[in-house]
Amino acid sequence: MNPDLRNLIALQDIDTKIVTLKKQISDIPEKTVAYREEFQQLDHTHQKRVALSQDLAKQRRTREGDVDMMRTKLSRLKEQLMAVKTNKEYTAMLHEIQSAESQIRAAEDGILEIMEKMESLEGILAQEEKELRSRQAALESQIRKAEEAVPMLEAEVARLFQEKTELERRVQNDLLARYRRIGDARKGIALAEAKDELCSACHVRIRPQVLADLIRTEEFHVCDSCSRILFFREGS
């Protein structure tokens, strides 16, 4: 293989790694925000259920207080029943007692329904709290790892830039300018591997003559479709 072409392949590999690492670094703040927003959303949902549980407990206390008052009223009505003197008064008082008893039963049924909801919700809250703590620990670990990775990634980028600079010194100026010009026009990819008779970048079939020249000569050849410099990867 042409030594200059080999240097350009190595240079593009470095450039690709640098782009990938820079993308990882730039994505970390966004990922960190996403992790925190995920936890806030989970916690918000949990707190809504906690508030519902508290509201149900308040409803239960209110209804239990109402039942206590109704029982007091019922007890008083039963005492008054013994004091009535006419059948009409007795019938009216008996109807009032039955109505009070019916109200108490309805209120107690409502309390039982609230208690069932509370019991079900308590189970959900207990499991949710456990899962929330576990997820919080996992998210905090992911945030910590992401933030701790930044210095290492930046150091690797710096090392690659140094390696890139040293490699560029070994490439002829006009060829390096050509490499940069094609890369600028083709989203940073100036070279394309010829594989299975196709350009790996644009996936257009390479003319047989160009393929033959790539194999036989050390001259530079470009893809007829995307104008990238073609090469065969050594060892593939």
What is the per-residue pLDDT across 145-154, written as a single tens digit (0 to 9) for each? Answer: 988 999 999 9
User: How many C-beta atoms surround the C-beta of residue 202 within 10 A?
Assistant: 15
The range of the structural domain enclosing residue 33 comes to 17-171
Using DSSP, state whether 205 is helix, strand or coil. Answer: strand
Same domain membership, residue 85 and residue 134: yes
Digit-coded pLDDT (tens) for 143-190 = 889 889 999 999 999 999 999 999 999 999 999 999 999 999 998 899
Same domain membership, residue 207 and residue 143: no
Distance CA(161)–CA(222), nearest Å, equals 27
Closest CA to 230 of 212, 216, 214, 215: 214
Same domain membership, residue 184 and residue 167: no
DSSP letter at 197 equals T
**Rounded average pLDDT over 80-93:** 87
Count structural domains, the chain.
2
Same domain membership, residue 68 and residue 34: yes
pLDDT-based confidence at residue 233 (cuts at 50, 70, 90): confident
The pLDDT assigned to 234 comes to 65
Same domain membership, residue 200 and residue 121: no
